[in-house]
Amino acid sequence: MSTEQRPPLVQVWDPLVRIGHWILVVAFFTAWFTGEDEGLVHVYAGYTVGAVVVLRILWGFIGSRHARFADFVRGPGAVFSYVRSLFTRTPQHFLGHNPAGGLMILLLLGSLAATTWTGLKLYAVEENAGPLASLGAGPALSVAPVVRNAVAEEEAEDNEHSASAAGAESDGEEYWEELHELFATITLWLVGMHVAGVLIGCWRHRENLIRAMVSGLKRQA
């Protein structure tokens, strides 16, 4: 098809979607590579991820047409139908997110939200800092004193209180740290699947989806 015959480019992704997407990419990988340090860079990268996720969820209800969940969230049947079409001569084409891409967005938003929440809980337990510090460590702390009850009875009252508090704090840190690392790892795998899906889409639809997320422009068909 010649250049003159190609369908015109139209604006699909608004600036908030595009800028938010790339901020998420930078913030998530910054947090990932600074995870062992647990310094302020890691903390603020996590704050950035959380803020963008909240904003993107809100924008999914009040944003531009193709940014809204109603435009791209489909049921399992639509997802499977789209995936099957990729193996045919004429794969289904969507101006906005395709059904499989829409499902991936939901999974990524959920996983990023869980990663951020558990990170905030861990920060609250370890440093007694952050917006969740006043809420305590959560369920892991409530069972810790019971586990140590037999040992605590043999110690002096002062030592009992200090040992129980220190042990509970340790249990809380381990609980939230493991949960935080789990969701971060799940997110990394989802990111990998997302990149693979984008590359497959570029190939099957013969369009540069990466460039579209920079310019916001896509061809109509």
Compute the distance between CA of residue 171 and CA of residue 176 in angstroms, rounded to an integer.
9
Q: Looking at residue 153, what is its pLDDT? A: 52
Tokens of 185: 């790892």
What are the pLDDT digits (tens) for 27-51?
999 999 998 887 899 999 999 999 9
Q: Looking at residue 72, what is its pLDDT? A: 95
Global pTM value: 0.81
Compute the distance between CA of residue 91 and CA of residue 85 in angstroms, rounded to an integer.
4
- Reduced DSSP (H G I as helix, E B as strand, rest coil) percent helix, strand, coil of the chain, to 5: 75, 5, 25
Distance from the first to the final alpha carbon of the chain: 13
What are the pLDDT digits (tens) for 184-219?
999 999 999 999 999 999 999 999 999 999 999 998
Mean pLDDT, contiguous 10-residue spans, the chain (221 residues): 67 96 98 89 96 98 96 96 94 94 97 97 90 65 42 47 50 89 98 96 93 92 65
Q: Looking at residue 37, what is its pLDDT? A: 81
Compute the distance between CA of residue 220 and CA of residue 94 in angstroms, rounded to an integer.
8
What burial letters (b/e) apply to 13-34, b meaning 16+ CB within 10 Å?
bbeebbebeeebeebbebbbeb
Q: Looking at residue 76, what is its pLDDT? A: 95
- Domains of the chain and CATH, by start: 7-138+178-219 (1.20.950)
